[in-house]
Structures are given as C-alpha cells and as structure tokens.
C-alpha cells in the first residue's frame, strides 16, 4: 500500500515522521523536509532501527527551501518498529512529507 504522511514540525523538538507498524516492512521512496520560514534554520534527521543512524547531520536550510531524500532508485528499506525522526532548531518552522510503500511481512 503506497501512502504519504505529512507533519508540521514544532521548533526546537524532535518529531517522529513515520514508524513502520507491527507486521509490516516499508520501502521509503521519498522524504522531503521544508523550511517554511523567512529565515535560515537548522534541522537533522535520523533513521532508528534499534540504533540511531544519521540520515542528515545538523544542517542549515535556507529560508523557504527544501531538501529531498531517497528515491525509487535509492530507497530506504525499513523493518517493523523502525522509525524516521526530524529534529528542528528552536523558533523554526518546518514541514516534512514521507512517501512509503507498506508490505505485510508475509508478502
């Protein structure tokens, strides 16, 4: 099942963008992180599969711009319980969107 998830990220906090549900694995086709403010702000992103794997170390993102991670040619495969989270700078305003394909573990 293909689905997209969108979140408004609170400044100065860590938000879980997507968690693979029990009994499933997921192929992440795209994650887009958007700075919605008129100022440059920093963010970071991790994939947690039991340990935190840095996808993007703390990085400044220009005002009203975005970055895209993964693709159909370079997906991220996640297992049950894995999650992606994004941490944003205080006073910032970010959005994030993930597009994933979910599969039952027996498929």
pLDDT at 107 over 80: no
CB 58 within 8 A of CB 67: no
Phi, psi of 40 (to 5 degrees): -70, 135
Write the pLDDT tens digit of every residue in 19-75.
999 999 999 999 999 999 999 999 999 999 999 999 999 999 999 999 999 999 999
CA distance 64 to 66: 7
Structure tokens at 40: 């440059």
pLDDT at 17 over 70: yes
CA distance 103 to 106: 8
CA distance 87 to 79: 22
Global pTM reads: 0.93
């Amino acid at each position: 099942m293909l689905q997209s998830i969108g979140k408004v990220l609170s400044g100065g906090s860590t938000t879980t963008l997507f968690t693979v549900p029990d009994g499933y694995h997921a192929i992440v086709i795209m994650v887009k992180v958007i700075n919605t403010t008129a100022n440059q702000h920093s963010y970071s992103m991790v994939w947690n599969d039991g340990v935190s794997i840095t996808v993007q170390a703390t990085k400044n993102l220009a005002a009203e711009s975005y970055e895209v991670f993964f693709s159909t040619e370079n997906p991220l495969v996640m297992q049950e319980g894995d999650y992606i989270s994004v941490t944003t700078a205080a006073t910032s305003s970010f959005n994030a969107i993930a597009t994933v394909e979910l599969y039952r573990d027996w498929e």
